[in-house]
Structures are given as structure tokens and as C-alpha cells.
Structure 1
Amino acid sequence: MDWLFGQLHGMFGNKLLDGFRSGHVIDGKDTGVENMKAIWAEKIRANGLKFVDVKRGLAGAERLKWPPTWGEFLDLCAPSLDVNAALHEAIEQMRARQHGKDQWSNAAVFWAAARIGEFDMISQSFAALKPRFEAALNALHKGGDIQPVPPRVPMLPAPSAAESRREYGRQRLDELSASEVIKNVSKGGNLNWAHRIIADERATGKAPLNKLNIARQAVFNVTGTQS
């Protein structure tokens, strides 16, 4: 961290120090500057940045007039992604994730796909997904920390014939219940249940597809819009 801070100080001089200095000095060191070093060091570890990534970030910082914030520096450290390649990966891995077999080259690709949602990632065309996916990637990088990909769901053993029949019956009950809810909504009810399922799928990418489909259909049938 001292090396990184020295490099940044060499680029920006007191502009860097003035952004963090507290004026409280212990053992000849400003506590604000030392806290900045500690926080950045922790964020570098948390985001899994390697030395090559930090050097990429420094190279990008040379183009700036002012010292980067942490979020800006993280963006500079990230290798540029080919949106087309990343989207192809996201579609393929979202399908694989249904069986607990997904493997992601970059956590940002996963989170961009998760923001769009499993249902749309699997069902929509590449052309329709591309602008949404690119916007999600950009928003993630602007937001700063990108968390690791959550542990994938292990693949379950194939159900027995009896279990399959029970599951089919449960899904049909869900569908029939959804139909009744849709009717009630048209009479003054609400779609909170559907919006909760859709929001959960967008946040985690793990909402069951049958429930997600029912929720989306309910919103469409009632409002005439896709969610």
C-alpha cells in the first residue's frame, strides 16, 4: 500500500494528501492519510485485485487531473470487457446456473446478468439484451465494489416419479392460485406478491422459474406492461 500511495502521491502531490489529511498527527503520521491507506488496502483485498490490476489502475490514473476516489480507481483497475463476449458468457452461464454448473470469468458479468434477471437472460434475444446488459455493466463499475459471485446451488438428484407428480401438482396449484390473485387484482387487489418475486429474482437470480413466470404474467395481465 505504501508503494501504491507513493505512486499516487508522485502523480498528484498534495492534491492527494489534502483530500485525506485530518491534521491529527501521531508518530509523525497524519491519521487521516493512514486511515485512507488501511481502507484502500482492505478494499483491494476484498475485490481480489492483483498487482497487474493495480498497475492498470495507476496507468489509467495518469490521465486524470485530480486523484481518483476509490470507486474511480477500481474502475481503472478493471480490464476492459468485450460486451458481446461478456453477454454470450452471461446467457450461457445463467442457463448453467439453473443446474449449479455455472463458471464466471468475471464477477461483474454475473452481477450484470443478475440485474437483468434469469428469466430475461434466458428468454430474450441477444439484440434485446445487449443495451440493458451494457448499461448494467457500466452501472456496476460506477457503483464501486463488485461482490464475488454467490455460491452456486448444487445440482439436486433427479426426483422420483412420485416426487415429480407432487411437484407438478404443486406448480399447478401455484398457477391456479395466481389466476385467482389476478382476478382479485382486477377488482382492487394488489400485485405486491408478484413484485416481491421479481425483485428477489433481480437481486439474487435464484427465484424459481415457475413462480417468476407466474409473477410476470400476473403483472402483464393486470397492467399490460412487462416487468
Structure 2
Amino acid sequence: MKLQTSSISPLNDWLEPRQALDGLALIDHLFNRLDGLYPNKWRAAFANDMAIANWRTAWAEGFADEGVTADEVRAGLKACRRREWPPSFAEFFKDCRPSSDYQVALMEAVEQMGRRESGTDRWSHPAIYWAAVKIGSYDLSRKTLRELQPEWNRAFGDQLALGRWPEIPERRPALPAPGHTHSAEVGKETIKDMLRRLKGEADDYAKGKSESVDGA
């Protein structure tokens, strides 16, 4: 039976029984899938029921905190077919979300939404644009990358799961209100300020993730 394709976020979504999975919780369904991929290896790694319960809680919390979607878990399971040994959470998470594609896409969304008002936005993929529309330019321009990341992971994951996307509509620069016309130089400086803020947040975010790993 397949995992559902809807976005997963709250911890309870991973732990509560689901009728579509014959009464199993998503995390238990994942346990069984991993057991099927690694017969005589997966269950052998757990000394007792307490060890399984600890795994269940730790992985469910990890998925909820990171905003992992069911489609990403499916990608992680697919990657396991090429692994000879069962993955740790960190290894499985990397397989669910290869490299830092989601974070790079978020940074593009923040930058290009900032440029869209002037009609100078350039998007590398329509899924990034439509995920940005889902979150909204207001939140993208005011929240930090750390605050945006979980919501972005869900919105972007949902878009990637679609497989097909409408074209990105052309944005015509809005006419300024009377008495509020800005020069091109002022507009460029505004964008530069935004990019400096974005870079600073990205550096802080990367540093924070590194420190959290080192302190784990």
C-alpha cells in the first residue's frame, strides 16, 4: 500500500493510525517498508520493543520538525534500494531531500519575489514560483529563512509532486503612486539591501545548522 501524497507536518500526522494504511501509523508503515527492504538486518538492529519505540519517536519528531513530506519519504525509500545497509536518520533524511536543493530554492523564491514588483524576476523552475505564490510575498519578505524553511519544504514538495505546472505569468511593473516615483538607482539599492539581508540570513542559518550537528 502506498503512502499518501499529501504534505506531512505535525507530529501526530506521523503517529496516528490511518485507515488507508489498514490502521497503521505512517511511521509504522515506514518501519515495515524498511524491514522489507532489509530482511534480517532491519529488525536485528533493535534489541527490544523499547528500542523500536525510541526509533519511532525520534524519526517521527525529525520528520515533523523538518517538514518532510510523504513524497520525500518515498524518495528516501527508493534510495534505500541502492543501500546495502539500513540508513540512520541523517542518511535517510539526505536521501529524502538530496543536497540543499530546498534551501537554494527558498533563497531564489525570496530574491525573485522581491524583484517581481519591478518585473525583473527570473525563475529557474515554475515549481519554485508557484510554491512562492502559495506562501505569499508578504511572508517571504518579512520572515527569516529559518522561520520559512518548514513551510517552504511543504509548499515546494507539494509543487514538485505535481509534475506539471502552469507557465509563470508575466508581471508588469506597477505604476508608482503620484509623488512616489523612485529612480532606477534607488530600485537597485533596494534590491542590493535585500540580497545582503538574504546572504546574512543564509550564513547565519548554515552556521546554526552546523553548530546543531556538532552539538548533537
- Structures share fold, TM-score greater than 0.5: no
TM-score range, shorter chain: 0.3 to 0.5
Report the structure number with the largest CA radius of gyration. 1
What TM-score, normalized to structure 2? 0.35
- Point out which structure has higher relative CO (alpha carbons under 8 A, 6+ apart): 2
